[in-house]
Every structure is written in structure tokens, then in C-alpha cells.
Amino acid sequence: MSIPTPHIGAEHKECFAKTVLMPGDPLRAKYIAENKLESPVLVNEVRGMLGYTGIYKGVSVSVMASGMGMPSIGIYSYELFNFYDVENIIRVGSAGALSPTLDLYDIVAAAGACTNSAFANQYKLNGTFAPIANYHLLRTFDDTAAELGINVHIGNVVSSDTFYSADKDSDAQWRDMGVLAIEMEAAALYMNASKAGKHALAVFTISDCLFSNKATTAQERQTGFDTMITAALETAVKL
């Protein structure tokens, strides 16, 4: 396959920086580009999945939306890794807290991503693949956050194929296995990075707490995650 790809309209590999921040929401990508980057240039708008490249502290950084769910981030991360020579993708998303130690706006970095998805079946492995973050990215993010005075909770998340699940016991079962939070994309991102020999990290701001009924609004999720975004951008300039 050549570029542009079926899902990314950028004409040249150089349209994307080596590091891409990847929120799910296109409007969050737009917010990051317009409020955090110098001279942002729109490099993709196919299907409304906005992507930009700009400058942060003298370093070229891109931000592009992934959409919701593993099939969607699976497409966009695959094309960025394999056709646009992107080296690092940092997912900057929201997650629902499973652990009672987490509260709204806490930041979680996914060392690993459990999943109920069959995404790994395509690799025909004789066993169960464990999707994990790139250690260098994870350590750099944690160290950077510490320099900024930001506390990061590091551990397992679960990437679910279902938002509205018929299994009403599932969340508690994952919680009882020590899983910190639930989201819908990290496992596919980690698998694509592993297969491509590239680097990925998923970090999250807690947007709701599943066992205490706390929740943020859609507007707060779109623009209220500046602490996480700043830590991710500061990480990007060190890579």
C-alpha cells in the first residue's frame, strides 16, 4: 500500500512527526493542536479524523485522533507505524476507574493492557499475547510527570470491546484482579506497535469512577485533561 492510505490523506511521510499523541476524540486533537502547538498544520481530515503537526518547545510533534474502539485505533496506528514511519504513539485518553484508589482526573499509565478482544487472533500465536507498553516511553513519561509534580498510577488496564456490556459482573472481576481502569483502545495499539517494531504508551485521565458513580461531562473530557497532555508533550520532546 502506498500513501495516502485509505484512511489518512497526508501526501508525504514527513507530514507526521516521529512522535504522535493520539486522543480518541477529533475535537480533543484539535484542542491540543490549537492550544499547545506552535504553527499547527492540518495534515489529515479524512472521515473527520483530524490530524495536525506542529512544534512544541522546538520539536516537531503530531497529534491525531484515533476514534473509539480497537478496530478504529487499530487502523490509524497501523497506518502511522507502517506507512508514515511514525516511531512513537502516545495515546492520551480517558478511562473509567475500577480501582477504589483512583478518583476523577487522576492519571493512569498502562504498563499492560488486558482485553476481552479477539484482536490478537490475527497473529495465529500458540498461546496468549500480553500487550505491554514500551518501557522507555513508560519510564520517560513517569519521570517527566514526577518532574512536573504529577502523580501517575502505573499498572494494568483492560481494553474492552464493549461499552454497554451484558455481563454485569465483568467490571468487578477485572477490579478483583488488580486492574486499575477500563478503556477501549490500548491493547490494539500495543499489539500494532509490537508487530511493527515501534513504540507505544497509553496514558489516561480518569473521567468516571465505575463504583462510585462520579463522572465528568463531555466538555470536560474534551478540554479538561491538560495535566496529562502537558506530561505527554514534555515526554515527546525527550524521545
Among candidate residues 25, 171, 176, 208, the one labeled active-site is: 208
Q: How far apart are CA 224 and CA 222, in angstroms?
A: 6
The CA dihedral of 74, 183, 25, 23, to the nearest 10 degrees, is -70
The CA dihedral of 217, 218, 219, 223, to the nearest 10 degrees, is 110
Do residues 4 and 11 lie in contact, with contact meaning Cβ atoms separated by under 8 Å?
yes
Question: Angle at Cα 64 formed by Cα 8 and Cα 141, nearest 5°?
Answer: 140
Residue among 17, 138, 126, 121 at smallest CA distance from 70: 121
Grid coordinates belonging to 236: 515527546
Question: Angle at Cα 36 formed by Cα 31 and Cα 41, nearest 5°?
Answer: 75
Any catalytic annotation for residue 208?
Answer: yes
Whether the upstream peptide bond of residue 4 has omega within 30° of 0, thus cis, is yes
Q: How far apart are CA 159 and CA 184, in angstroms?
A: 4
Count of helices and strands (H, E) across the chain: 7, 10
Question: Angle at Cα 91 formed by Cα 89 and Cα 92, nearest 5°?
Answer: 135
Residues belonging to the active site: 208
